Amino acid sequence: MNAKEHTECSLTRKLKRLRGLMCGITGFVGFEDKSLIHKMTDMIAHRGPDDSGYFIGKNICLGHRRLSIIDVSAGKQPMYNEDDSICIVFNGEIYNYSALSEELKRKGHKFRTNSDTETIIHAYEEYGDNCVKHLRGMFAFAIWDNSTRKKLFLARDRLGIKPLYYALINGSIVFASEIKAILLHPDIKRKVDNEALYSYLTFGYVPAPRTMFSGICKLPPASTLSFKDGRYEIKQYWDVTFKETEGSEERQLGNSGSRWSDDEEHYKAELLRILKESVRSHLMSEVPLGAFLSGGLDSSTVVALMSSAAEEPIKTISAGFESGGYYDELKYARIVAEHFNTDHHEVVLKANDLKILPKIVWHFDEPVPDPSSVPEYLISQKAKKYVTVALVGEGSDELFMGYRQYKIMSMAYAPVIRNMLMHAPVGKVASLFGRAPVPRIAKRYMEVAAGISKSINSPKDCYMGLVSSFSPEERSSILANPKSGFSESILGGYFAGNGTIFDKMSKFELSVPLADMLLMNVDKMTMANAIEARVPFLDHKLVEFSANIPCSLKLYRFNEKYLLKKAMSGILPKEILKRKKHPFAVPVRNWLEGELKDRMLDVLSRERIEKQGYFKYPYIKKLIDGKKYNQLWPLTFFEMWHEIFIEDSKFNRGTI
């Protein structure tokens, strides 16, 4: 029988249910190293600051960090089945665990706890690898199966809310919730993956399965990995399928005057029902719970539905900027907080708060230059005083075509405009748009549409022209060793085949940037402060429902998230429903011209760039002279990451 190590903690509070709250997991198969598993698990102590647990067996070690709870013997992880032949470490929340456990009890399974962790064990016993298909929630877990299967089983949730990384080393596998734990393995070489670097400049992040580290991978969302006898197999267990709608993109988007009105009431009622159900399930908690509130449609929707389901005023936390103006949304957050009588708290970001940027880079593990990570980190830091769990509004833009690229593409592919773009010179088209008798915002979108006219016959190239900071020509100009194969394979897989342009865009947004940038930001910044973020818009039942909503009910005559606004009409304040789309803006230009200017010039200096050999300095100098801050920001972020994780043998957090 395998040996078990347990680190006890003091009992801090009485809880009715034992949940997989605020955790980090680590482990390896193929060798034994008690010291290494302790170091790896300690490296991610911020994900579960009060308690640790270990399983150490023959050629297998598992580690776990979590928040301390009552009944340590029952809620402790690693957790085992009745005969100790199956062991699990788990990070996340299973929202249907109660119903699933009852189903398993009817099949003869005996439970020792009332926990979602034990529910996964019994589901695995009953359904094997297909257990993941029965789980509704966010999760990353590892099961060591010492029964007849004799294998390691890793799994990640459908949308990639919870991260999981792994590396294959000399016939063994090492895995963890964060890369920094894997880097402690002595045989890991900290080296930049050149194809990942090209992807970074293409997308603004590194898509799964790659990471910026050569040899370290992300397990993709909706995937499992089985490792046995030195071999591994990855399987995708879920995918979202969009309803194929008859007619042109013009009709689908309602630009022809049709809005599928016969179906609107049905979709609106069903959307509200599923949304309410999702929010209610995400409210299950034995610890203080609240919401991050920006004052936008998405977070306001979450707060509204939380308030209707909660017995007491919910806690809301918002962030604003000292500079105010365009970047400050506190006015709208206060309207929502007052309307729903929330216990409201605010944090105002100041220029000197940027001193935390090295910590942010350290927590990300790889460069993820989402500037909203700074307010996300600080709002989580503030929230820690009031809540342990926070609901957030991420995912709505992906479900309901909320991004500007949908408006621009819908304009570019409207028959009249598309014909102009295909046959008229770009400058002339842009000039015509500039004189058109339409609102200023529409003119701006038309001018952008004119700018992508040379790619109008390639939806993939059109789309990337809208979302990429660097064009293919710019990537070739700046990279010393450009390798584009991986990026092309990612894009080709989503934009090939049948289906509308907009469904392809939506599927890509849901599958790639959501998991590899937005949710990475949410998880890493909240867990850095011992906060668990929950994402009710990404309940997979809601995602599946949204994929069947006609495009015309998502974007109607350039009114984004049309159906969501209709569903929330009469619930949200009119100021929020009528407010124009305002993405959470961050003053990057102000930062790079002010507090971060010297740091930017230091990490992008000629000496440093030429010594590294990744980039061509003349092009970087051109960007600096031209004040191209949207391109300088990801380069600066990459260089700060490189300092911490590649150059510093101890990958310390450093200072600005």
CB 128 within 8 A of CB 31: no
pLDDT score for 50 = 82
Q: Using DSSP bridges, classify how beta strands 389-391 and 532-534 pair: parallel, antiparallel or unpaired.
A: parallel
Q: Tell me, what's the pLDDT at 451?
A: 57
Report the topology of domain 3-236.
Answer: Glutamine Phosphoribosylpyrophosphate, subunit 1, domain 1 (3.60.20)
- Residue 72: per-residue pLDDT: 43
67 pLDDT higher than 90: no
pLDDT score for 488: 84
In percent, the amount of the chain with pLDDT more than 70 equals: 84
Asked if 608 and 331 count as a contact pair (C-beta separation under 8 A), the reply is no
Q: Can you give the pLDDT at residue 262?
A: 56
Q: Quickly state the pLDDT bin for 79 (edges 50, 70, 90).
A: very high
Alpha helices, H only, 553-628: 562-568, 574-577, 588-593, 597-603, 606-612, 617-625
pLDDT at 261: 54
SS3 of 297, please?
A: helix
Q: Give the pLDDT of residue 351.
A: 85
pLDDT of residue 412: 73
Q: Say what the pLDDT of residue 498 is.
A: 79
pLDDT above 90 coverage of the chain, percent: 71
Q: Which residues are catalytic?
A: 23
Average pLDDT of every residue of the chain: 88
- Confidence band (pLDDT; 50, 70, 90) for 148? confident
CA dist 137 and 132 (Å) reads 10
| pLDDT tens figures, 175-232 | 999 999 999 999 999 999 999 999 999 999 999 999 999 999 999 999 999 999 999 9
Q: What angle do CA 217, 222, 227 make, to 5 degrees?
A: 55
Residue 649 CA to residue 50 CA, distance in Å, equals: 27
Distance, CA of 180 to CA of 343 (rounded, Å): 37
Please report which confidence band the pLDDT of residue 14 belongs to, taking 50, 70 and 90 as the band edges.
very low
Q: Please list the alpha-helical segments (H only) found in 13-158.
A: 34-43, 72-75, 97-106, 116-127
- Per residue in 364-389, pLDDT (tens digit) is 999 999 999 999 999 999 999 999 99
Which residue reads 């009817």 in tokens?
Answer: 106
pLDDT value, residue 413: 72
- The answer to whether residue 59 scores a pLDDT higher than 90 is yes
Q: What is the pLDDT of residues 386-408, one digit of tens each?
A: 999 999 999 999 999 999 899 88
Question: Predicted confidence band at 248 (pLDDT cuts at 50, 70, 90)?
Answer: very low
Question: What does CATH list as the number for 258-399+512-577?
Answer: 3.40.50.620
CATH 3.40.50.620 range(s) for the chain read 258-399+512-577
pLDDT at 127: 98
Q: Are 14 and 70 in contact (CB under 8 A)?
A: yes
Q: How confident is the model at residue 648 (pLDDT cuts 50, 70, 90)?
A: confident
* pTM tops 0.85: yes
- The pLDDT tens digits for 494-509 are 888 778 889 999 999 9
pLDDT at 253: 52
Higher pLDDT, 292 or 326: 292
Domain with CATH 3.60.20.10 in the chain: 3-236
